[in-house]
Amino acid sequence: MTEVTPPDPLVLDSSPKVIDALEVVAPQSPGVVFWTQMKKSPLAIAGGLLLAVFYLLAMLAPFVAPYTQEVMDRSKYFHPPQRLHWIHADGHFSLRPYVREARLVDVGSFEYQDDPSRELPLRFFVRGAPIRILGLVPTTIHLYGVDPPGRVFLLGSDSFGRDVVSRLLYGSQISLTVGVVGIAISFTLGLLLGGIAGYFGGWADTVIMRLAELLLSVPSLYLIIALRAVFPVDLPSRQIYLGIVAILAFIGWAGLARVIRGLVLSMRKSDFVTAAEALGFSRLRVIARHVLPNTMSYVIVAATLSIPGYILGEVVLSFLGVGVQEPSASWGNMLNQARSIRALTTFPWLLFVPGTAIFLTVMAFNFLGDGLRDALDPRRVSGGRA
Amino acid sequence: MRTYVLRRVLQTIPLLLGISLITFVLLQLAPGDFLNQMAENPGISAATIDAMRVRFGLDKPWYIQYGIYLKNVLFHLDFGQSFARHQPVFEVLSDGFINTLILAGAAALITWGFAIPLGVIAAVRQHSWVDRTLSLVAFVWLSIPEILAALVLLMMAARTGWFPVGGMRSLDYDELDGLGQFLDVLHHLALPALVVGLIPLASRMRQMRGSLLDVLRLDYVTTARAKGLSERVVITKHALRNALNPMITLFGYTLGALVSGSFIVEIIFSWPGLGRITLDAILQQDQYLVMGAVLMASLVLIIGNLIADLLLAIADPRISYD
């Protein structure tokens, strides 16, 4: 698996600032401190904004995409990305961009040639296939499109003549949520098990930590693939999706549980825990309300930095053909289309489009996570294993 | 120290037992087995399949099968037979392991060969443009997934024809002389090793930089400078030696991680290593081969971590495990 940002305290050392005693007027609320710190790292803010845009696009995917993910055009395999033109064949300029219809000139090598006389003006809010936005609002309006029977392939088409933009958008619904859902499950598990192990100690600690150690001793990709073998390959895509999330979460909790256990262990003897116990609170309440909230800044940072690992987990599984299955799109199985030497040399957009999306997402999470680390925890913590 | 090593080695045994048990159970839970796949081949009679089922003990309940497997491994060092390759698992895996080791070794050379000098330069010239550029590149570099790096390099290889697009040897490998064979493997090795090696380079470089910067702040370095030693001597003879300590530990940990790290690269570049073998074995439900591969990969990871802890104790006299 890839390196998921530095889980080390040596990197990105913000140099200690000398605080002038006279400057400190009033104590600031944690929220204010957080925002003042965040504003100092423009990269983190940029990462956060980029992610906001990506997730918004994923939510609105059916509307933004000109076609649905399954629509094929059997006469337009491996159509290269179309260029937007503003200047017409007769030389005049118009604000509305258009794309050129292309003809297949060589069936063997899938060579297309633009036909300058066939202009397809790009239209906005056009009628197309019936869709449901957010799974609720039924509509036939799409953000953009061209007049049928023309087709718009702004980022090209794939081996089935499907629009890559549409598949990228639909695929993001899977690829971008795998990380968040997976993290939600594995971090709940990790917090709970790590908290129990650290707080109670004894046999619970032994059992949980030995199990975590076991999971951490198998190289993660080997374990992921072995777990994947348990389920049949040809399940409905919803079940495959849940299966992938379950596998990644099952592996992901161990690293976190180990760190949380350490944090809880060091907190157990502290005064505020003793005070809470003296007040007669139940042990579970002490864990949940007093101990675990103190690990939150660590958890938020570790979660942000772990999400790329989950996203890449889906990408790798689908790339290997054992993840999300066709015709459902995911960034991983889009990448799978670029696996052959032929595709790599002749249809590079099949690699670069999903590749860029994956790269930007991973980078945005890493930038955001690093910024959060600096902003949330001045003492700083080291990251967990994805 | 000796007790510590002994304890760590003994701890490995239940760990490996646990891993083998979990893997075995997982493989049992998987629908069908290799013989089911064989049964779909009309050229193989049902009687043959049944005979094989009995021969490999696949007709017995899983815990008995596991017991037989364990007995064979422990008492005869027999890891079973690969169904698909008709070869003992041990042979298949040792070939694969050596290939993975070649890849991982070359990658480690690339990583550390660049990370240490670059990290030192960045630390010595802190805040200079070199440092800033390296930091920025490293920051972006950290986000490049191996799978993408591998595909992009494969694409360049395919377009330029400068490098082979996969595999480990050319077709005419057997006709080459010793040097020719070596160069041929090196030629095939270059791109996969570059991917596996360059990916962790960014974080290693940053760690080297951070480590050296920490040491350069210490009093004894100031003392060395005050004595009038040249900056070169201060850095190489005094500071660097201590700054390398944390790197030595990291080196041990990456040994284990390299096996895992090369998994996807092996598959993309058709490098006949452990990762490639494991994936094929899982897809073909080649039970004993999967078992062996997972155990071997885990063992490498565990040994890597042990070496890391030991190296630290050897390199740093302040640390002792007794």
Percent with pLDDT over 90 in chain B: 3
Distance (Å, whole) CA B278 – CA B296: 11
Q: How many CB contacts within 8 angstroms connect chain A with chain B?
A: 151
Q: Which pLDDT score, from 0 to 100, does residue A12 have?
A: 45
Average pLDDT, chain B: 83
Q: Which pLDDT score, from 0 to 100, does residue A381 have?
A: 40
**Closest Cα in chain A to B206:** A11
Distance (Å, whole) CA B250 – CA B266: 23
Say yes or no to pLDDT of B69 above 50. yes
Say which range, A177-181, A375-379, B80-84, B242-246, has the weakest mean pLDDT.
Answer: A375-379
**Which bin fits B285, alpha (ψ -120 to 50), beta or left (φ > 0)?**
left
Read off φ and ψ for residue A126, nearest 5 degrees: -95, 160
Q: Which pLDDT score, from 0 to 100, does residue A3 have?
A: 43
The dihedral through the CA atoms of B291, B294, B297, B299 has a sign that is negative
Percent with pLDDT over 70 in chain A: 90
Q: Which pLDDT score, from 0 to 100, does residue B275 have?
A: 87
How many CB atoms are located within 10 Å of the residue A359 CB?
Answer: 17
Record: contact B297-A222, CB cut-off 8 A: yes
CB A120 within 8 A of CB A99: yes
Confidence band, pLDDT 50/70/90 cuts, at residue A13: very low
Say yes or no to pLDDT of B15 above 60. yes
Q: Which pLDDT score, from 0 to 100, does residue A172 have?
A: 92
Mean pLDDT of B9-37: 82
Mean pLDDT of A300-308: 88
Q: Which pLDDT score, from 0 to 100, does residue A167 have?
A: 92
Chain A residues touching B144 at Cβ < 8 A: 2, 359, 362
pLDDT in tens, A269-282: 888 888 888 888 88
Q: Which pLDDT score, from 0 to 100, does residue A10 have?
A: 44
Mean pLDDT of A13-35: 61
Chain B residues touching A363 at Cβ < 8 A: 140, 143
Q: Which pLDDT score, from 0 to 100, does residue A18 have?
A: 53
Say yes or no to pLDDT of A380 above 70. no
Q: Which pLDDT score, from 0 to 100, does residue A176 have?
A: 92
CB B165 within 8 A of CB B157: yes
pLDDT in tens, A148-157: 778 888 888 8
Tokens standing for residue A139: 């509509």
pLDDT in tens, B112-126: 899 999 999 898 888
Q: What is the 3-state secondary structure (H, E, C) of A244-274?
A: HHHHHHHHHHHHHHHHHHHHHHHHHCCHHHH
Q: Which pLDDT score, from 0 to 100, does residue B321 have?
A: 65
Q: A341 to chain B nearest CA, in Å?
A: 7
Record: contact A344-B18, CB cut-off 8 A: no
Q: Which pLDDT score, from 0 to 100, does residue A5 have?
A: 46
Say which range, B14-23, B30-39, B215-224, has the weakest mean pLDDT.
Answer: B30-39
Say which range, A27-31, A274-278, B245-249, has the weakest mean pLDDT.
Answer: A27-31
Q: Which pLDDT score, from 0 to 100, does residue B118 have?
A: 92
pLDDT in tens, A40-53: 788 889 999 999 99
Q: A342 to chain B nearest CA, in Å?
A: 9
Which is more confidently placed, A297 or B155? Answer: B155
Judged by a CB distance cut-off of 8 A, whether residue B245 touches chain A is: no
Percent with pLDDT over 70 in chain B: 98
Mean pLDDT of A36-65: 88
Sequence-distant (6+) residues with CB within 8 A of A210 are B14, B18
Give contacts of B 48-67 with A, CB under 8 A: none
Mean pLDDT of A219-228: 83
Judged by a CB distance cut-off of 8 A, whether residue B290 touches chain A is: yes
Q: Which pLDDT score, from 0 to 100, does residue A9 have?
A: 45
CB B291 within 8 A of CB B297: no
Is A137 exposed, middle or buried, given 0-12, 13-18 or 19+ CB atoms closer than 10 A? exposed
- Complex ipTM tops 0.85: no
Confidence band, pLDDT 50/70/90 cuts, at residue A357: very high
pTM for the model stands at 0.84
Q: Which residues of B256-284 are buried (b: 16+ CB within 10 A; e: fewer)?
A: bbbbbbbbbbbbbbbbbbbbbbbbbbbbb
Q: Which pLDDT score, from 0 to 100, does residue A265 have?
A: 84
